[in-house]
Amino acid sequence: MKDTNQKKRANGTPKIVAIVGPTASDKTKLAIALAKKFNGELISADSRQIFKGMDIGTNKDKSYPQHLIDIVNPDEEFSVAQFQKMAYKLIGEILKRGKLPILVGGTGLYIDAVLYGYSIPPKTKESARLRQELERQDAQALWRKLQKLDSKSAVKIGPHNKRRIVRALEVTLLQKMPFSQLQNKRQVPFQALIIGINIPRVTLYQAIGDRVDAMIARGLVGETEKLAKKYSFDLPSMSSIGYKEIGQYLQKQISLKQAIDEIKQKTRNFARRQLTWFRRNKEIVWIENAEQAIDAVAYFLADQPRKICLKIYGNVLGVFFRASAQKLAQDLNLSGFAVNASDQTVEIVAEGQEANLNKFLKWCRQGPALAQVDKVEAQWGKFSGEFSSFEIR
């Protein structure tokens, strides 16, 4: 095996790893294990852990150094564009030190802004005035307005995330163009392996409940009480899950038991939204344990060839699909290529570098002109002859 501490491909393209998943799925624990094994540094991608003094309620893990936690006060604004700029700077610095940048967190927009180079308009005084006006309106009314102006963003954000709805409307109205169109992707100067933690729903909900109980035991009430002496519960940071409910308890609006139950329920809802966000990204490699993640990173860094077996279903026009697939496989330097095609199904086997196989897989999901692809099953192997279980892509 090649030296897995080498953080560049043979062609010189730097590499980074991202660990994503829902809250309470032990992302940071996995990231720390990978950092120790592959000489990495962690960059937190959590929109709440950026706030100083909000440690228990955001479940910060300070047992291992992380960049981009504790960087602003709870009453300070911090944008996705700021995060992206700081993350890019850190990635460059970490690579110069010969280490592996590991981006870890559950804030999907932070992750995507870095990995896909979103061009995000900066906030201005004019946008601040408009934002204040929008924030006075009801979330459902704002979402309906966004549906009319930018249905793509409305579907992606959903009707409950008022802060992101306001931001999308703010940009759309000021730029006179849908927010979804303004989030243009730029070419990023690195290759990324995105690892998603696949955890059964029952296990996840139990972990959420246990985490909330642990937060209470560690002193979430006291932390919230201390923060409330300096900061208003009207702030986005102080109205986030955990702090809002404990604030209501401190103000004698609800009992502590009610606060705890609400935190658990809202966290479960939040985890579902996170999963919905990440499941849309077909580039994520979903793993179930640390051993699978270590294998994935090792092969990613070592540039070892992998093998893939695809089953493609739909009105795929076999002969035409075969010819187009063979040409693309040749262009991507894939070897061991074999295809069996009919009008309804196509089976393909190919070997090559993982990045090229992913490009080929992406093309297969769309199919050539006139083909209608309904479903693709992808079976990955670490090397010739070895496959993991089928995964619907």
User: Binding site for ATP: which residues?
Assistant: 21-28
Structure tokens at 372: 């209608």
Sign of torsion, CA 46 160 275 110? Answer: negative
Are 20 and 105 contacting, i.e. CB atoms less than 8 angstroms apart? yes
> 378: which DSSP letter?
E
Structure tokens at 184: 């243009």
Structure tokens at 180: 């979804």
Our answer to whether residue 340 is catalytic in this structure is yes
Binding-site residues, in ranges, read 21-28
Structure tokens at 67: 């960049």
Angstrom distance (rounded) from CA 74 to CA 275: 26
Catalytically annotated residue among 340, 358, 365, 393: 340
Angstrom distance (rounded) from CA 308 to CA 379: 6
Angstrom distance (rounded) from CA 162 to CA 12: 42
Number of Cβ within 10 Å of residue 207's Cβ equals: 17
Task: State the DSSP H helix or E strand holding residue 270, giving kind and residue range, or none if neither.
Answer: helix 256-279
Structure tokens at 362: 């992406």
Our answer to whether residue 322 is catalytic in this structure is yes
Instruction: Tell me how many degrees the CA angle 75-79-83 measures, rounded to the nearest 5.
Output: 115
Closest to 296 (Cα-Cα) out of 175, 156, 194, 168:
194
Cα torsion for 285, 288, 294, 296, to the nearest 10°?
Answer: -20
- The per-residue DSSP string of 294-354 comes to HHHHHHHHHT--EEEEEEEEEE--HHHHHHHHHHHHHHTT-EEEEEEE-SSEEEEEEEE-H
Catalytically annotated residue among 164, 218, 322, 365: 322
- Active-site amino acid positions: 322, 340
